[in-house]
Amino acid sequence: MKKLLSTFFLLSSLFYFSQGIAFENSDFKSILAKAKKENKLIFLDAYTSWCGPCKLMAKNIFTQKSVGDLYNGHFVNAKIDMEKGEGIELAKKFKVNAYPTYLFINGDGEVVHRTLGYVEEKDFLQFAKDAEDPTRRIGALKKQFEEGEKNPEFLKNLANLTVYTEPDFTARVLDRYFTDKISLDKDDVNLLLQAINSSER
């Protein structure tokens, strides 16, 4: 009976954990090789042990079945503490300055898309879809900006995506965004504070 119960609980726990994202348990070099071999992007959760939103994402979002289905099927998933071991150099290489940061990296080690912060399930699923669509990745969005895109929501999104990695570029985006602004809302103020903070780093 004890063996039967032990087996039941083991299977139950495996089923529970299989609902969410399955993260690789190996070094980044091996993860990179696997992504290249399988022709997939890497999804990298760049986190720290003290980061509250990181813990909430791990508890509330990464464990969702819909999230696991999409991320496990389309990406090689990695979770690395940016303040320990190889994470320290990866943080420098990929310009990770805020947590959690989510990186989508190709098999050549190039970041093709990135975003950050605590987000709900729907938005987190959209991040994955954007990362797989070359027309919605950061490079494509920056090109749209250079071609003159003025949509306020587009500009705000682009500023949020680049504020911690490309402060000079973000300043140009915000300059365009605020040109026709008559009043500021809470999001605008937060974005300005983030831009000021990142430019002082």
DSSP bridge partners of 80: 46
Q: How many whole angstroms separate alpha carbon 126 and alpha carbon 137?
A: 12
Residue 165 appears among annotated catalytic residues:
no
Catalytic one among 54, 96, 125, 159?
54
Among candidate residues 19, 31, 12, the one with its CA nearest the CA of residue 69? 19
Identity of the residue numbered 2:
K
Residue 51 appears among annotated catalytic residues:
yes
What are the structure tokens assigned to 93, written together?
């290489």
31: left (phi over 0), alpha (psi -120 to 50) or beta: alpha
The gap between the terminal CA atoms of the chain, to the nearest Å, is: 60
What are the structure tokens assigned to 124, written together?
């987190």
Q: Residue 177: which residues within 8 A CB-CB, separation 6 or more?
A: 152, 155, 156, 159
Asked if residue 193 lies in contact with residue 200, where contact means CB atoms within 8 angstroms, the answer is no
Catalytic one among 42, 51, 161, 174?
51
Q: How many whole angstroms separate alpha carbon 107 and alpha carbon 69?
A: 21
Q: Hey, which residues are catalytic here?
A: 51, 54
